[in-house]
Amino acid sequence: MQIALTIPQILSSAAEADWALAAPERDPLSHGGLRAQINAIAESLARFGIGRGARVAIVLSNGPAMASAFLGVATAASAAPLNPAYRAEEFDFYLSDLNAAAVIADAANPGPVAEAARARNIPLIGLSEGEGAGLIDLVATTPARSIEVVAPRPDDEALVLHTSGTTSRPKIVPLSHANLCASARNIRAALQLTQVDRCLNVMPLFHIHGLMAATLASLSAGASVFCAPGFDALRFYAWLSESQATWYTAVPTMHQAILGRAPRNAERIAAAGLRMIRSSSTSLAPPILVELEETFGVPVIESYGMTEAAHQMASNALPPGVRKPGTVGPAAGPDIAILDEEGRVAAAPYVAGEVVIRGDNVTAGYENNPAANKDGFIDGWFRTGDQGILDADGYLTITGRLKEIINRAGEKISPREVDEVLLGCPGVAQVVTFAVQHAKLGEDVAAAVVLDEGSAATERGIRDYAAERLAPFKVPRKVVVLDEIPRGPTGKLQRIGLAETLGLEPAGDTKS
């Protein structure tokens, strides 16, 4: 077990690059400047009467201000980043659920969170950006009694997030300084990050992926983070050139969009200084991994993460280590095991079951949710809700979310397996396989696809292609061709509820 640390400790212990934070057309901020900014945020919050244990919602667009605000609030209090695209009603729910002590928002344009904060009498703190990347100033609209700045302890809460709530009410996930620092250490080790690295971050900073893999892991290594204002495939290659990035991390749908613009950016790709690409948050289909490696000429490192583990759980290795496409690699920090059908930890490899983890990066439990904690933890292991298989080398293959597995008259179908087959069909650029309700079978298989530009692929042709490569019960009954597949706020494809989103009627009396 490693020594538990706090965010200030890991940010002051590494050799430093020339700068810590940068952004398009902004002057960079040094590591020393970032530490001073974090201290200034802590002092500002203390003047507003906010310190350890108080939860501060942060509602900002992506960029260096969001990065420094997260680090400063997590150091002084507890950071609760929220998606700035939420409506007032959604902000009302999250502010209430979090019992937020204050809200930090853009001073010039706070958006609908201001309405929700006023309705609940929650102080609104306005943020203004300075000249350099990550330099900010905080002004409170409500006077408060000043308190003393207190240094955090490893077991203090640093970050609080909600689960996605796809199938139930979102659950509150508190994460301590020790959890975050352990995860940053694990990511740093898996990617061999040093002060010469520069990460191009296109992930949202209200999501654990961007906060941990891109930001805290990099800064704890003394490396640099170039904070893009969100993901934009049209601007990605310009940012790649401006940042001189050595790596970037993204979800599969982002990688696919990046590949779609690659032919127009051959010169920038050739001039790029990337040494690796990272993919996480959902499974990356092997054909996409291969295409990324062929396009950029660098290894693609697929990792496995989730909020409850402060992100990373497993990761493939950089060369000369072994990478196994289709797997998320071996354990990279916490212990990983498989529960068999009897709910016991499987001793042998190649047993299919639920993935469970334990380690110092894993949350101690959901807040105010004894039922979820009873279901989610067993004998010291956290149940991820993912189905997977560990091979003889300890490499983990994720076969799907247990809640996403399609049950067609008792036949269990992994949507990911169908995705990977359909991605091999000529003319198919993106795929998401999902369940559609069926009156007789319970569920049946459907797929939404996006075609390559100029593709002549048809629904019938795609189904025929699948029928040659899949058992009959796995072949999608329905293939829907779309210009764009609906995605969640973090860029992940959403299988659950997609049939309803697309307006697909339940199947019934047609032959199966």
235: left (phi over 0), alpha (psi -120 to 50) or beta: alpha
DSSP secondary structure string for all residues of 409-424 = TTEEE-HHHHHHHHHT
User: Tokens in use for 455?
Assistant: 């593709």
Q: What pLDDT band is residue 42 in, cutting at 50, 70 and 90?
A: very high
**Beta bridge mates, 300:** 277
110-114, 303-307, 349-353, 494-498: which range is least confident on average? Answer: 494-498
Predicted local confidence at residue 510, as pLDDT: 43
- Spatial distance between the Cα atoms of 11 and 226, rounded to a whole number of angstroms: 17
Start and end residues for every CATH 3.40.50.980 domain found in the chain: 13-152
User: Tokens in use for 429?
Assistant: 């650029």
Top-level CATH class of 407-501? Answer: alpha beta
What is the tens place of the pLDDT at every residue in 452-478?
A: 988 989 999 999 999 999 989 999 999
48-62, 99-113, 335-349: which range is least confident on average? Answer: 335-349
* Average confidence (pLDDT) over 427-450: 90
Start and end residues for every CATH 3.30.300.30 domain found in the chain: 407-501
- Spatial distance between the Cα atoms of 333 and 347, rounded to a whole number of angstroms: 20
| CB atoms inside a 10 Å sphere around CB 243 | 23
Predicted local confidence at residue 34, as pLDDT: 95
Q: What pLDDT band is residue 491 in, cutting at 50, 70 and 90?
A: low
- How far, in Å, are 324, 400, 401, 445 from residue 448 at the CA level? 27, 17, 18, 11
- Spatial distance between the Cα atoms of 145 and 143, rounded to a whole number of angstroms: 7
* Average confidence (pLDDT) over 20-37: 94
Highest mean pLDDT among 15-19, 166-170, 198-202: 198-202
pLDDT at 512 over 50: no
Looking up tokens 């469970």, which residue turns up? 356
Mean pLDDT (the chain, rounded): 92
What is the tens place of the pLDDT at every residue in 220-238?
A: 999 999 999 999 999 999 9
- Spatial distance between the Cα atoms of 407 and 443, rounded to a whole number of angstroms: 6
pLDDT at 324 over 90: yes
* Average confidence (pLDDT) over 196-203: 97
- Spatial distance between the Cα atoms of 5 and 8, rounded to a whole number of angstroms: 8
Strand (E) or helix (H) holding 162:
strand 157-162
- Those residues whose C-beta lies under 8 Å from the C-beta of residue 43, and which sit 6 or more positions away, are 149
What is the tens place of the pLDDT at every residue in 147-172?
A: 999 999 999 999 999 986 555 678 99
Assigned fold of 13-152: Rossmann fold (3.40.50)
Q: What pLDDT band is residue 7 in, cutting at 50, 70 and 90?
A: very high
How much of the chain, in percent, has pLDDT values that exceed 70? 96
Predicted local confidence at residue 285, as pLDDT: 84
Q: Is the preceding peptide bond at 320 cis, omega within 30 degrees of 0?
A: yes
Q: What pLDDT band is residue 436 in, cutting at 50, 70 and 90?
A: very high
User: Tokens in use for 275?
Assistant: 């040494």
Q: pTM (2 decimals)? A: 0.86
- How far, in Å, are 45, 70, 266, 313, 421 from residue 306 at the CA level? 29, 19, 34, 8, 26
Say how many Å lie between the first and final Cα of the chain, rounded.
54
* Average confidence (pLDDT) over 85-91: 92
